[in-house]
Structure 1
Amino acid sequence: MTSAAIRREPAFGPRTARVGLYAFLVVSAVFFLLPLLLVIMNSLKPMEEIRQGNLLALPINPNFDAWVSAWQSACTGLECAGIRPGLWNSIKITVPSVVISTLAGALNGYALAQWKSRHANMIMLLVTVGLFVPYQAMLYPTVKILSNVGLFRTYLGIVFVHVIYGLPYTTLLFRNFYVGVPDEISRAARMEGASFLRTFWSIILPISTNILVVVAILQFTGIWNDYLLGLIFAGNDNLPMTVQLTNIVSNARGAANPNVNMAAALITAIPTLVVYFLSGRYFVRGIAAGAVKG
């Protein structure tokens, strides 16, 4: 028996495996992108085409009338100013909340990573437990606390809520990252006379780009897409876009306009998509570099 006869090709070679992988990726992409494609298609249709009942059909006369209406004239209750007022509210709520919660989480995580004590592990355990407490269980006491200090349904109140609710999550991520940073870096800084805060600000933060990007993106997405906390704590003058969107979709005045609803949903989602497109490679790089290792 020749060696050629003994050597057999595997039933599934590299080419077959590659084709199967690409097929799986294509099917997965279609599965996740099809709903988004349908929303975009129907947001470009006039109501005459929507009433025909075929949501899967391509728009015959596409236009951006529904987008214009969703942006500046759709009714969000008693007011018909579209979703535009909620954009600035979402920006002024999200940006400081992300910055403060990220920096505070970095400082807490670094302190817990440097504190070599069993008490540090106990505090970290309590912080981790805080991650599993649902928001609904903390709403009433939070409302009472903010009411007593005069911050309920104010701008400062909603920023404070997002920062406090985000601290357990950001602290855990930063602590897990800083545990892997060599202690020699902090020791060298202390030998040069640097204080704890100076070491953190001048040495530790500059080498924390990966985790900073990961945490900032996660916090931005969570805060921007938040509905419950914004509805309860923001107040009528600071309602974010998510609350405005819900008011447009559930508005009982006049006939329902699905094309306007879909356009409003896309406008609300655009900022998070832009953030991911602009910083997606840094996010992936941070994940690959172990920014969320534990």
Structure 2
Amino acid sequence: MISRIVIYGLLGLISVVYIVPLLVVVLNSFRTNAEIGAMGLISLPQSFRLDAWPQAWSDFCIGGQCNGVARYFWNSVAMVVPATIISTALGAINGYILSKWKFPGSEIVFGCMLLGVFMPGQIALLPWAFLLGKLGLANSVYGLVLVHCIQGLSFTTLFFRNYYVSIPDDLLKAARIDGAGFWRIFWKIMIPLSPPIIIVTVIWQFTGIWNEYLFGVVLNSGSNQPITSALVALSMSGTTVRTYDVMSAAVLIGALPPLLVYFFGGKYFVRGLTQGAIK
């Protein structure tokens, strides 16, 4: 009984440590800048105001651009949605091939792709900058879509390959005997069995791509950057007056999509990982 109380107490303390920064940002987004200056950053709001949110969205200067975070937010949406869909689809096909349609050297191919999981993103910066320049995609959202599709392929392939290995080969053999080919087996058998791992992969890719900073700040600049790069530029701006209320609202706008994804899809994420592990 005592050990359980200690464990729950430690977990509660750790939860508080993690939740306090978020709580401070949320509270400051509903306070006025004058109140924050007078009372300090860590204080309960004396008033509840929403003025900072529309200002952060459409009327706030970041890196010389005074159109708020709206442009950068939509840049991230235009980047993360196609990159998530494409990388998940390609990962499903790769996992299907490497687990059920093996060919000479397939294990070597999988091993090489697996190296991409452990390769730091910094190693790929110069090659990507060179390639995007040659393709005419430098400093564009489309260039970042291509980067994240390829960068995420190792993870998605690993997820799907490990999941598909657990599906009995006899199921596919029976389908082949009935005359089903590569694509028919994929669409009629593998995909209907894949919702748990698809959910895991989509959540993983969406949050990872949305929160990624390195490629966005190095490969893009100005109004073509995603929101993570814009928020860092905001925090490093050299202005003498800090509008902490608007800055807090801007940070929350940038954090809302992954927070909502985890809030509504977190249980499915854990369920999908569990099903993939014990299937």
Q: Please say whether Structure 1 and Structure 2 have the same fold, judged by a TM-score greater than 0.5.
A: yes
CA contact (8 A) 2:63 2:222 kept: no
Q: Does 1:129 align with 2:115?
A: yes
1:28 to partner: Cα distance: 2.5
Look up the match of 1:73: 59
The one of 87, 96, 99 equivalent to 2:85 is 99
| Mapped partners of 1:88, 1:223: distance in 2 | 14
Look up the match of 1:246: 232
Look up the match of 2:30: 44
- Between the two proteins, the alignment pairs up a number of residues equal to 279
Name which of structure 1's ranges 142-151 and 211-220 shifts more when overlaid on structure 2: 142-151
CA contact (8 A) 1:87 1:240 kept: yes
The one of 202, 205, 222 equivalent to 1:219 is 205
Look up the match of 2:131: 145
Look up the match of 2:187: 201
| Mapped partners of 1:25, 1:196: distance in 2 | 49
Query: For structure 2, which runs of at least 5 residues remain unmatched after alignment?
Result: none
Q: Does 1:119 align with 2:105?
A: yes
| Mapped partners of 1:286, 1:204: distance in 2 | 15
1:75 partner SS: coil
Give the TM-score normalised by the residue count of structure 2: 0.92
| Mapped partners of 1:262, 1:113: distance in 2 | 47
CA contact (8 A) 1:153 1:232 kept: no
1:254 to partner: Cα distance: 4.8
1:81 to partner: Cα distance: 1.1
Query: Which letter does structure 2 place at the counterpart of 1:221?
Result: T
1:246 to partner: Cα distance: 2.1
The one of 143, 149, 156 equivalent to 2:142 is 156
Look up the match of 1:61: 47
1:26 to partner: Cα distance: 2.0
Query: Which letter does structure 2 place at the counterpart of 1:224?
Result: W
1:52 partner SS: helix
1:234 to partner: Cα distance: 4.4
Look up the match of 1:280: 266
| Mapped partners of 1:116, 1:71: distance in 2 | 50
Look up the match of 1:266: 252
| Mapped partners of 1:18, 1:118: distance in 2 | 53
Aligned in 2, Cα 1:125/1:106: closer, same or farther, shift over 3 Å?
same
| Mapped partners of 1:259, 1:237: distance in 2 | 23
| Mapped partners of 2:196, 2:16: distance in 1 | 30
The one of 207, 215, 222 equivalent to 1:229 is 215
CA contact (8 A) 2:72 2:223 kept: no
| Mapped partners of 1:125, 1:173: distance in 2 | 14
1:34 to partner: Cα distance: 1.3
Q: Deviations over 1:50-83 (max 9, x none)?
A: 2235322211123122222211211012221111
Q: Does 1:90 align with 2:90?
A: no
| Mapped partners of 1:140, 1:41: distance in 2 | 41
CA contact (8 A) 2:65 2:223 kept: no
CA contact (8 A) 2:75 2:141 kept: no
Name which of structure 1's ranges 112-121 and 270-279 shifts more when overlaid on structure 2: 112-121
How much identity, in percent, do the aligned residues show? 41
In our comparison, the structure showing a higher alpha carbon Rg is 1
Query: Which letter does structure 1 place at the counterpart of 2:109?
Result: I
| Mapped partners of 1:118, 1:161: distance in 2 | 29
Q: Does 1:210 align with 2:199?
A: no
